[in-house]
């Protein structure tokens, strides 16, 4: 139970308090408050739909034609990407922004990535509610396959945790990691199936896109919510195994580098 992966069992109250503070602090003093969680992706959705659908006349292969259908599929990919971008972009600064906590030997710094991931999942939940609501209005209901939605998203959590632990530890010693990560996230937006399905690419390119860890999450999310199909269970199991390895490696790296945090900060 000493592995950071099990921290919610040992420090659940502390993680909850920090997550709640993180979410509330983000919107404190703003007029719209949590409304920004909906407004930001919806504005992005409107702009991307206008550009790709209205100007470039793009359509989603193997899906019904129509602007709203295109927008739903784009939004499904966009909210997954925004969760990834939020966690990964914040990760290099998680420890740097809390130098006072580093000096406290008894404070479990390992919870900081948990806080970042849970705060991101909170916003994802709001955006998923918007996606499900829009789908229900458009289709006249929701398919039974949405019951598999938690299983589709579950492997994504350890992957995000592993990356956050790794980047948080590395960011303390290499300050350029934040800039590199921001650039990588920007590029990944167009190297992920947000605006297009994997099937639309030439066969030689598809294996490269499938190696992107965001691809199976986006594809399976669209499958269970928009296509009314059950997910590929073997794909989910494979994703979970890979994500667990990433989480284990990231946690080990964070634990190893933590010993030098106080000297650098």
Instruction: Enumerate the domain spans of the chain.
Output: 4-264
Q: What is the pLDDT of residues 59-102, one digit of tens each?
A: 776 666 667 788 888 889 999 999 999 999 999 999 998 888 88
The mean of the pLDDT values for the chain is 86
Residue spans of alpha helices (H) in 97-176: 99-102, 111-139, 149-153, 156-173
Mean pLDDT lowest among 6-20, 41-55, 85-99 = 41-55
Confidence of residue 41 (pLDDT cuts 50, 70, 90): confident
Residue 53 has pLDDT above 90, yes or no: no
CB burial of residue 200 (10 Å; 0-12, 13-18, 19+) = middle
Q: Looking at residues 10-14, what average pLDDT do you find?
A: 81
pLDDT at 1: 45
Cα–Cα dist 71/21, whole Å: 33
Q: How far is residue 66 CA from its own chain's centroid?
A: 27
pLDDT, average across residues 49-55: 73
Mean pLDDT of 137-150: 92
Instruction: Name, in order, each residue with C-beta under 8 angstroms of 93's C-beta and a sequence gap of 6 or more.
Output: 171, 178
Confidence of residue 103 (pLDDT cuts 50, 70, 90): confident
Cα separation, 59 vs 20, whole angstroms = 40
Mean pLDDT to the nearest integer, 27-44: 72
Residue 253 pLDDT > 80: yes
Q: Give the Cα separation of 22 and 69 in Å (integer).
A: 34
Buried b (16+ CB within 10 A) or exposed e, 53-62: beeeebbbee
Helices then strands, counting H and E runs in the chain, come out as: 13, 0
The model carries a pTM of 0.88
- Listed in sequence order, the residues at least 6 apart from 22 whose beta carbon sits closer than 8 Å to its beta carbon are 115, 116, 119
- C-alpha Rg value of the chain to the nearest Å: 19
Q: How far is CA 252 from CA 39, 165, 223, 255, in A?
A: 37, 9, 34, 5
Phi-psi region of 228 (alpha: psi -120 to 50; beta: other; left: phi over 0): left
From residue 206, alpha-carbon distances to 102, 192, 197, 203, 247 in Å are: 44, 11, 10, 5, 26
Across the range 121-145, mean pLDDT stands at 89
Percent of the chain with pLDDT over 90: 48
pLDDT bracket for residue 11 (50, 70, 90): confident
pLDDT digits (tens, 9 = 90+) for 231-247: 999 999 999 999 999 99
Rounded-to-10 torsion of CA 66, 69, 73, 74: 60
- pLDDT number for residue 150: 95
> In the predicted model, what is the mean pLDDT of residues 115-134?
90
Structure tokens at 246: 């990433």
Mean per-residue pLDDT, 192-201: 87
**In the predicted model, what is the mean pLDDT of residues 192-206?**
87
| Percent with pLDDT over 70 in the chain | 89
Q: Using 50, 70 and 90 to split pLDDT, how confident is the model at 195?
A: confident
């Amino acid at each position: 139970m000493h592995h950071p992966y099990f921290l919610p069992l040992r420090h659940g109250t502390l993680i909850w308090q920090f997550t709640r503070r993180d979410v509330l602090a983000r919107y404190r003093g703003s007029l719209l408050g949590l409304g920004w969680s909906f407004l930001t992706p919806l504005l992005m959705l409107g702009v991307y739909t206008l550009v790709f659908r209205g100007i470039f006349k793009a359509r989603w292969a193997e899906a019904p034609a129509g602007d709203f259908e295109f927008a739903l599929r784009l939004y499904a990919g966009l909210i997954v990407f925004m969760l990834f971008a939020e966690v990964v972009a914040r990760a290099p600064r998680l420890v740097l922004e809390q130098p006072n906590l580093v000096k406290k030997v008894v404070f479990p710094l390992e919870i900081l990535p948990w806080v970042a991931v849970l705060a991101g999942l909170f916003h994802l939940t709001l955006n998923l509610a918007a996606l499900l609501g829009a789908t229900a209005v458009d289709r006249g209901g929701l398919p039974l396959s949405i019951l598999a939605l938690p299983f589709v998203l579950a492997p994504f959590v350890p992957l995000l945790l592993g990356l956050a632990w790794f980047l948080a530890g590395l960011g303390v010693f290499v300050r350029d990691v934040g800039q590199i990560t921001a650039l990588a996230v920007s590029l990944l937006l167009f190297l992920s199936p947000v605006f297009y399905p994997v099937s639309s690419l030439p066969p030689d390119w598809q294996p490269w896109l499938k190696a992107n860890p965001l691809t199976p999450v986006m594809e399976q999310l669209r499958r269970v919510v928009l296509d009314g199909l059950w997910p590929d269970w073997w794909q989910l199991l494979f994703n979970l195994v890979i994500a667990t390895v990433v989480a284990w490696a990231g946690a080990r790296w964070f634990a190893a580098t933590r010993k030098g945090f106080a000297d650098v900060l």
